[in-house]
Chain A
Amino acid sequence: MQKILVWDWPVRLGHWLMVGGFILAWLTSESESLRLVHVLSGGVVVAVALFRLPWGFIGSRYARFVDFVRGPGSVVDYLRSLIRLDPDHHTGHNPAGGWAIVLLLGLGIATGLVGWAMYNELGGDWLEELHEGLAATMLTVVFIHVAGVISGSLLHGENLVRAMITGHKQGSPDAAIASARPLAAIILIAWVGVAAWWLAS
């Protein structure tokens, strides 16, 4: 076991753009003066999530949905191993983290698109209720995700937050990804800029 490259650039950059977008959108949700900031930051969340869907098929090994989307049985097994304080080590995402990704992508897209419909008055007051309900559900999943990351980091003795910044985790050398895919990260930035701006206009 040594430090190997696991997360490519689009995964890491996309993750932190989504974190920033979600926090900003949450903090500006009650303000009219900051309405554009709210809509733009929500647009960033939607744009990143929409990029992540194809990236889950064409991205590097651990970015692919087939690598981390597992059935409920695997999730239960993993959570049991967490409770035993001896979690199974996964080079990529663990099964619980995999479900956090799927839920947060789905909720990010749904919350943002409902917000976009509200912004353009494409429905009644029910859109507002739905938008708030989806956002609150997403915040709940974020808290569970963060709690899982902290407990997983402590129990594995591996800083998963730092891994999501540097891209490196413990693993055998032959399990490393070959490239961090920097070019795709540049495309991600360009796409997020264009899509968020379009959603907010």
Chain B
Amino acid sequence: MRAIPAVALLLASLACHAETPQQIRQIYVAEASSQQAGFTPSAKRGEAFFRQRFANNDKMPACTSCHTDSPLNAGEHAVTGKSIKPLAVAANPNRLSDPAKVEKWFGRNCKEVVGRACTPAEKADFVTFLSEVR
């Protein structure tokens, strides 16, 4: 009978396809490892990537243009001024719970800010940073 809550929780999580930040990180780590043997994700590299300025887009040269200096803060859209919920899982538990959504925003924002698709290694580092930053 003690198994019932656990089963219910499992069913609930299946029903809303929720995944944990660890699972999403694992997806990118696996992808990065297949290209680069012995790859281990690094929150430090992820943070450096978050702060890096790319000479691609004047209005939004870096992640920090909209997401502020810390992913723990709520951000502000550089063009529209609309508020953006924090990226860090510690500040916003809904982050990194939907792999499709994470991939969609990497796709859009890497293209526009970085000027190219991000590599699986960059994504793994970035996701690690967002799930560990306190």
Contacts and interface: CB of A to CB of B under 8 A. Distances in A.
Does A pair with B? yes
A36 B79 contact: yes
Interface in B57-102: 57, 59-60, 66, 77-80, 82-83, 98, 101
A125 B98 contact: yes
B60 A30 contact: no
B79 A33 contact: yes
A35 interface: yes
A35 B101 contact: no
Given A125-B98, A125-B101, A30 B108 contact: yes
Interface string A102-133: 00000000000000000111000100000000
A33 B109 CA distance: 10
Interface residues of B, number: 15
Nearest to B83: A121
B31 interface: no
A118 to B, nearest CB: 10
A31 B98 contact: no
B47 interface: no
A125 B98 CA distance: 10
Contacts of A121: 82-83
A39 B80 contact: yes
A119 B108 CA distance: 17
Contacts of A35: 77, 79-80
A32 B82 contact: no
A36 B59 CA distance: 13
B112 A32 contact: yes
A119 B81 CA distance: 11
B82 to A, nearest CB: 7
A35 B57 CA distance: 14
Contacts of B101: 125
Contacts of A36: 79-80
Given A125-B98, A125-B101, A33 B112 contact: yes
Interface string A21-38: 000000000111111100
B80 A33 contact: no
Contacts of B80: 35-36, 39, 119
A198 to B, nearest CB: 14
B118 to A, nearest CB: 15
A103 to B, nearest CB: 28
A119 B83 CA distance: 10
A97 B58 CA distance: 45
Given A32-B79, A32-B109, A33-B79, 18 more contacts: A31-B112, A32-B60, A32-B66, A32-B108, A33-B57, A33-B59, A33-B112, A34-B79, A35-B77, A35-B80, A36-B80, A39-B80, A119-B80, A119-B82, A121-B82, A121-B83, A125-B98, A125-B101
Closest 8 pairs between A and B when the two form their complex, measured CB to CB: A33-B59, A35-B80, A35-B79, A36-B79, A32-B112, A36-B80, A30-B108, A33-B57
15 contacts: A31-B112, A32-B66, A32-B77, A32-B78, A32-B109, A32-B112, A33-B60, A34-B79, A35-B77, A35-B79, A35-B80, A36-B80, A39-B80, A121-B83, A125-B101
